Structure 1
Amino acid sequence: MFALLSGLSALLLEALALWLLGTADSRTHPLAVVLLPHLAASALLALSALALMPALTARSRRASGLLMFALSAFIPGLGFAGIMAGLWIGRYRLAARRPRGLRTLELPALDPHQRERSGFHQTGAGGFLRNPRAPTPQRLKALVALQHVPGRVASPLLRDLLGDDSEDLRLLAYGMLDRKEKTLNAQIQAERQRLASARSAITLALAHTRLAGLYWELIYQQLAQGDLRTHAAESGLHHAREALALRPNGAGLYLRCGQCLLALGNTTEAEVAFEAARAAGLPDHRVLPHLAELAFLRRDFAAVRRLLAPLASWRGMMGVQKVAQFWSPR
């Protein structure tokens, strides 16, 4: 309302100044008579402009106001008209073309497979932990809450904290990572002992299958890095193939072989293994995402779209469904 009243007042005063300029005679000092309403109109126009366009003048309101006042005051007529035209274009024409800042969004669907078992949400805890300005006691609390978070999500956050300025956070993050790794390594050693003492084909196949899964967990939870990751992938592939030799119809073992081969960068053999898992009867929702990943690595986006299309209406895992819907043709 203030901007509208100021603009109308400025327009009326400028019109008064022009009328006085055309009607006053030389004996009444026409310059002084005209200047007063003209300067008042210029000042009101500058105030109106500042009120109408706060986003453009928020950082330098005084300089912007003085500039518009000077243009209107020292370039009579044209300066006033130019500022009015600029305000109209900037405020109404351009604003009408831009999308509105606020939109109505749908609430995200609830994923029944995600369960919050701590006071911190996984994503919120990650952002909070990475904030060095947050109080250390609260960051420690968020770090402790990561013990309820899946290893694949927690491990990268814990590794980021190994370089944190807080010694308490560094030590706790290192201890949590070390505990996760030691737990898996202890399970691997125990399974190796079972493998060494196994005598029947069934117990041998089970031991090899468990070892392949444990080595894959080291990779999946990002606990093995660099050469250790390569060793874990090679060991997992070896045990998966040994189990397949004893159980040729094990569809899940073909999948494990494909995962380890993909971790080793052998995409060609990985695709063969994934197709074998599919042919052995593994459900599409477990195989197609891996085949789509291989197609994406080849930059074959048409194949990605084709492979994910059957999963767009599958409601088993909402995360997979959302990815499939993203790739579905519009």
Structure 2
Amino acid sequence: MISKWLFSGALLFEVGSWAAFQEQLSIAQATSLYLGAHALSSALLAGGIWLLLPRRYKFPLPWSPLFIFSLAFFVPGLGAVGVAAALFPALYLPRRHKQLTWDSMALPELPFRPQERGKELMFNDGGLQDVLRHAPDTEKRLTALFATRRMPAREAIPILKVALRDPADDVRLLAYSMLDKQESEINLRIETSLQQLATAEGSHRTALHDALARWYWELAYLGLAQGSVLEHVLNQAREHAQHTLDGGDNPYAHVLAGRIALEQGRLDAAKTHFDQAEAAGVGKPTLAPYRAETAFIEGRYEDIAGQLCELPDSVLQRPPFASLAKYWL
């Protein structure tokens, strides 16, 4: 509503400015009257149009209304007409935006989006071994070694052994120190247990034999002992496991003794220990993997499926039994 009054006032003052030249006035008076009326007309026109402008065109002040005023004031007559002819259609008849139903574009060159790579390595045997074998950057191979600290020792040690053949000294030294640390920790426990065994008696002595059997077995199981050392470690584990069985009723000592016998190739002794463990109360699911391994070594393949069926479904769905179940069941 205010804009309409401003436009009406602008029109009246513009008409009045031209009427000043029709009166019997001097040139100075007519010019002053015209400029005053024309300035008021331009100011009213600029104010009216400024009020109708979208917000993004109103600022910054005072440049937006001053620009409209300048167009109308400094071009007498045609200025106001030109401003009105240019802005009124744009304000009251805006261009309609057509809705695009299809946006056609050229096929971009590959890669057409940034490739994101995770900074963390996959903690699995194959992935880390591939990094150690094929990564040209020494830092990446060192990072792969550090990743093994978050893995079970059984999975980490084969990877560390691969790193022992690395061409970079830093990688080899780090792998050796990590292997040596694990082996030293086990040997320290063995040494401590042997010192305590010299003075121990009764149930304490039996418990120490059980601990020693398990620590010696750990050296063999993790692959930290090889060749003649492996044979010595297994014999020590067998001897202490037998002392454990002689000193008390420990059904899980039969399981350990059976695993040691299985590793040494004494299959009859392994089967005897597993049967004794079951008779002492060890569940069939605990013994099933070892009995399946025994059946495989002996060539009794028809018995493998029956042993794997003793395992719970939740166990058969996890590695390493998932692939075994897929093949045998």
Q: TM-score range by the shorter chain?
A: 0.5 to 0.7
Question: What is the DSSP-based 3-state SS (H/G/I as helix, E as strand, rest coil) of the residue aligned with 2:164?
Answer: helix
Structure 2 matches for 1:148-227, cutoff 5 A?
148-199=150-201, 201-227=202-228
Question: What is the DSSP-based 3-state SS (H/G/I as helix, E as strand, rest coil) of the residue aligned with 2:194?
Answer: helix
Residue number in structure 2 paired with 1:228: 229
Question: What is the DSSP-based 3-state SS (H/G/I as helix, E as strand, rest coil) of the residue aligned with 1:311?
Answer: coil
Tell me the alpha carbon deviations over residues 177-203 of structure 1, each in whole angstroms, 9 at most, x when there is no partner: 11111110000000111111212x110
Tell me the alpha carbon deviations over residues 144-164 of structure 1, each in whole angstroms, 9 at most, x when there is no partner: 121221111111111122122
Residue number in structure 2 paired with 1:266: 266
Question: What is the DSSP-based 3-state SS (H/G/I as helix, E as strand, rest coil) of the residue aligned with 1:319?
Answer: coil
Question: What is the DSSP-based 3-state SS (H/G/I as helix, E as strand, rest coil) of the residue aligned with 2:139?
Answer: helix
Question: What is the DSSP-based 3-state SS (H/G/I as helix, E as strand, rest coil) of the residue aligned with 1:130?
Answer: helix
Which moves more between the two structures, 315-324 or 233-242?
315-324
Residue number in structure 1 paired with 2:12: none
Conserved 8 A contact 1:312-1:324: no
What is the Cα deviation at residue 276 of structure 1? 1.2
Residue number in structure 1 paired with 2:63: none
Q: Distance in 2 between matches of 1:179 and 1:250?
A: 31
Structure 2 matches for 1:1-330, cutoff 5 A?
119-123=121-125, 124-131=127-134, 133-199=135-201, 201-247=202-248, 249-311=249-311, 313-315=313-315, 318-319=318-319, 321-323=321-323, 325-329=325-329
Relative to 1, partners in 2 of residues 1:263 and 1:227: Cα closer, same or farther, differing over 3 Å? same
Question: What is the DSSP-based 3-state SS (H/G/I as helix, E as strand, rest coil) of the residue aligned with 1:318?
Answer: coil
Conserved 8 A contact 1:311-1:321: no
Report the TM-score, using the length of structure 1 for normalisation.
Answer: 0.60
What is the Cα deviation at residue 317 of structure 1? 7.5
Question: What is the DSSP-based 3-state SS (H/G/I as helix, E as strand, rest coil) of the residue aligned with 2:309?
Answer: helix
Conserved 8 A contact 2:132-2:162: no
Q: Distance in 1 between matches of 2:199 and 2:261?
A: 28
Conserved 8 A contact 1:233-1:264: yes
Question: What is the DSSP-based 3-state SS (H/G/I as helix, E as strand, rest coil) of the residue aligned with 1:165?
Answer: coil
Tell me the alpha carbon deviations over residues 54-104 of structure 1, each in whole angstroms, 9 at most, x when there is no partner: xxxxxxxxxxxxxxxxxxxxxxxxxxxxxxxxxxxxxxxxxxxxxxxxxxx
Q: Distance in 1 between matches of 2:175 and 2:313?
A: 40
Q: Distance in 2 between matches of 1:246 and 1:317?
A: 38
Conserved 8 A contact 2:261-2:270: yes
Q: Distance in 2 between matches of 1:139 and 1:306?
A: 43
Unaligned runs of 5+ in 2: 1-119
Higher gyration radius (CA)? 2
Q: Distance in 1 between matches of 2:166 and 2:234?
A: 30
Relative to 1, partners in 2 of residues 1:319 and 1:261: Cα closer, same or farther, differing over 3 Å? same
Tell me the alpha carbon deviations over residues 284-309 of structure 1, each in whole angstroms, 9 at most, x when there is no partner: 22211000001011121101111111
Which moves more between the two structures, 154-163 or 202-211?
154-163
Relative to 1, partners in 2 of residues 1:145 and 1:324: Cα closer, same or farther, differing over 3 Å? closer
Q: Distance in 2 between matches of 1:251 and 1:130?
A: 44
What is the Cα deviation at residue 241 of structure 1? 0.6
Q: Distance in 1 between matches of 2:328 and 2:121?
A: 36
What is the Cα deviation at residue 126 of structure 1? 2.4
Identity %: 31
What is the Cα deviation at residue 130 of structure 1? 2.1
Over aligned residues, Cα RMSD in angstroms?
A: 1.9
Question: What is the DSSP-based 3-state SS (H/G/I as helix, E as strand, rest coil) of the residue aligned with 1:295?
Answer: helix
Question: What is the DSSP-based 3-state SS (H/G/I as helix, E as strand, rest coil) of the residue aligned with 2:136?
Answer: coil
Q: Distance in 2 between matches of 1:323 and 1:205?
A: 39
Q: Distance in 1 between matches of 2:320 and 2:310?
A: 11
Conserved 8 A contact 2:164-2:175: yes
Tell me the alpha carbon deviations over residues 242-270 of structure 1, each in whole angstroms, 9 at most, x when there is no partner: 011111x3111001111111121111211
Question: What is the DSSP-based 3-state SS (H/G/I as helix, E as strand, rest coil) of the residue aligned with 1:243?
Answer: helix
Q: Distance in 1 between matches of 2:225 and 2:317?
A: 27
What is the Cα deviation at residue 174 of structure 1? 1.1
For this pair of structures, how many residues does the alignment match?
A: 209
Tell me the alpha carbon deviations over residues 126-149 of structure 1, each in whole angstroms, 9 at most, x when there is no partner: 221222x43111110110121221
